Structure 1
């Protein structure tokens, strides 16, 4: 009987950990998408595009 209880406790713990992994992946994915959106906003700004164009123009001279 003690072995059965120990196995049940272990299975319950493993199931809880599996759910946490999925939640952690979801939060990590959300953070990565938010960072990509912020980076896209910065790179497509007029100031950054002007600076990149100036760098490319100087490199091609």
Structure 2
């Protein structure tokens, strides 16, 4: 019985150590996700504010406002 309790305690302690080692990975994954989202937003902003796309978006809005029922 003593060996079974000791083995169970060892498994719990090793599990806690593994959890502590992985705790920093979550933060780095969030950081990489934020960096990727910001990069995507910058690219999207550049595309939308370019001359051609901006003119097309304005034409779409004008057509939608001038539409007759």
- Shared fold per TM-score greater than 0.5: yes
TM-score by length of 2: 0.72
Residues 9-20 of structure 1: pairs in structure 2 closer than 5 A: 9-20=14-25
1:60 shift after superposition: 2.1
TM-aligned CA deviation for residue 24 of structure 1: 0.7
User: Which runs of 5 or more residues in structure 2 are unaligned?
Assistant: 1-5
**Structure number with bigger Rg:** 2
For 2:30 and 2:16, the matched residues in 1 are separated by 21
Q: Which position in structure 2 is the counterpart of 1:23?
A: 28
Q: Which has the higher contact order (CA 8 A, sep 6+)?
A: 1
After superposition, the CA RMSD in angstroms is 1.5
TM-score (norm 1): 0.80
**Count of matched residue pairs:** 60
List gaps (5 residues or longer) in structure 1.
none
State the match for 1:45 in structure 2: 50
